[in-house]
Amino acid sequence: MTASYDVAVIGSGPAGEGAAMKLCKQGKRVAMIEMQAQVGGNCTHKGTIPSKALRHSVQLLADYRRHPLFAQTASAIEATWPKLLRSTEQAIAQQVDMRHRYYLRNHVALYHGSARFEDAHTLSITDDHGKVSRLHADNIVIATGSRPYRPPGVNFDHPMIVDSDTVLELDRTPRRVTIFGAGVIGCEYASIFANLDMKVNLVNTRDRLLSFLDDEITDALSYHLRDQGVVILHNEALDAVVEEDSGVVLRLKSGKEVRSDLLLWANGRSGNTETLALEACGLSADARGQIPVNDRFQTAVPNIFAVGDVVGPPALASASYDQGRFVGQIISKGEAGWKLIEEVPTGIYTSPEISSLGRTESELTAQHVPYEVGRAEFKNLARAQIDGHKVGILKLLFHRETRQLLGIHCFGEQASEIVHIGQAIMAQPGTANSINYFSETTFNYPTMAEAYRVAALYGLNRIR
């Protein structure tokens, strides 16, 4: 027997959840298909939530060790990797419980198993026991997310070779870690391991870290990673991974050999499309498993949409959820009625955090835009002095003539929260988007938000 729905959503991560919730609120009969035994997708179980919960625990430990009140007792804390992983379980469980209630409360039918296309309107779902269910849907949304890219020639069956998924299953505490890939995930884990006093090698295939960020921010990140003991190797390429009983040797084409107890491969991700049998509905994925879509997130088959990591950048949980809601509205009403923002804030959970929005100094210089810089250093803010998080900077880029806010770049504690204050002003039309707002507004004292006033006054004074 084949069950019928208005829409079937494959994948319950942020993109799938956004689509399902929007659709059911519009009165559509929705089926949610999730491969794992619990809802939430890789974001909840293998990516964003566990890694950020882990980072929070490690940051608490680092703060505790640095605080003068606890200097005598900090050394007694045994922070093994398995213990730290267990500290993430509560956050994951709460997220799963909350999201499961969403689906039950909104009468979304839940199917657990692996989905395959039989045609453009029909899916078969095979659960862990081999039972097959079939469903028909007028529209289908693919939101299957992504997984770490695993290159040929690297043996991930070796117990000390892991990726960003399997590192969360590690049952021992390494002393020396090599991370191949210095993107967002690689830099975040470099911070986590370094704060646990592990020896960390961060191997970068490019000439600088996170080159899409403002140069001053990446320079600050490089400095503070090195200050935490991380050895950064730029412009490297893999030659071979040699397995040994005591660990792993990474051989690089430059001739370097890097020995460690653990190799974390963090170089790229692939879309989860290989089990969908896309050919049965007339679709195909590219070499990275990603599905091409138009500006409505519609695939080459009109009734099938794709959202989230499976369509490629920006591959952020926040943007994916909005894409899902956008597609849900298009399916329900024919048009969304709003546009997705072009500039999405970036949140990077290194230690300290990084967040940015808008253009960088390099981009403005290349575009011949007359700009000025407003800057506030956290070490001069009362709240940062009280909290003990004095490392950091808020940097505002604005047009010298119109005072329009052009870019926000923050490095330091709470950066991913701080950026949203500037985002709200940056989104205002016309003259309402002005750095003058920050110089003419009263902020609570002491707060980190006060950095906006300090940065605005700094920048305006440079013009005067």
183 known member of a binding site: yes
Is residue 247 part of an annotated ligand binding site?
no
Token pair 């379980």 in the structure block, residue:
89
Q: List, in sequence order, every beta strand (DSSP E) within 197-291.
A: 199-203, 231-233, 238-244, 247-252, 257-260, 262-265, 269-271
Residue 207 annotated as part of some ligand binding site:
no
SS3 17: helix
Query: Is 144 marked within a binding site?
Result: yes
361 labelled ligand-binding: no
Give residue for tokens 């019928």. Answer: 4
The annotation status of 124 as a binding-site residue, yes or no, is no
Number of H helices, E strands in the chain: 13, 22
Q: Using the 8-state DSSP alphabet, how is residue 440 labeled?
A: T
Q: Is 182 annotated as a binding residue?
A: yes
Contact status, residue 134 vs residue 119, Cβ threshold 8 Å: no
Q: Check whether 145 is labelled as a binding-site residue.
A: yes
- 289 annotated binding-site participant: no
What tokens were used for 194?
């370094």
Report the amino acid identity of residue 363: E
181 appears as a binding residue in the annotation: yes
363 is in an annotated binding site: no
**What is the SS3 assignment for 162?**
strand
Does the annotation place 421 within a ligand binding site?
A: no
Phi/psi of residue 377, nearest 5 degrees: -90, 130
Q: Which residue type is seen at 212?
A: F
Note the Cα 323 to chain centre separation in Å: 15
Q: Is 268 annotated as a binding residue?
A: yes
Residue 186 known to bind ligand? yes
Question: Residue ranges for the binding site for NAD(+)?
Answer: 181-188, 268
Q: Which residues are annotated as a binding site for FAD?
A: 52, 144-146, 309
Indicate the annotated binding residues. Answer: 52, 144-146, 181-188, 268, 309
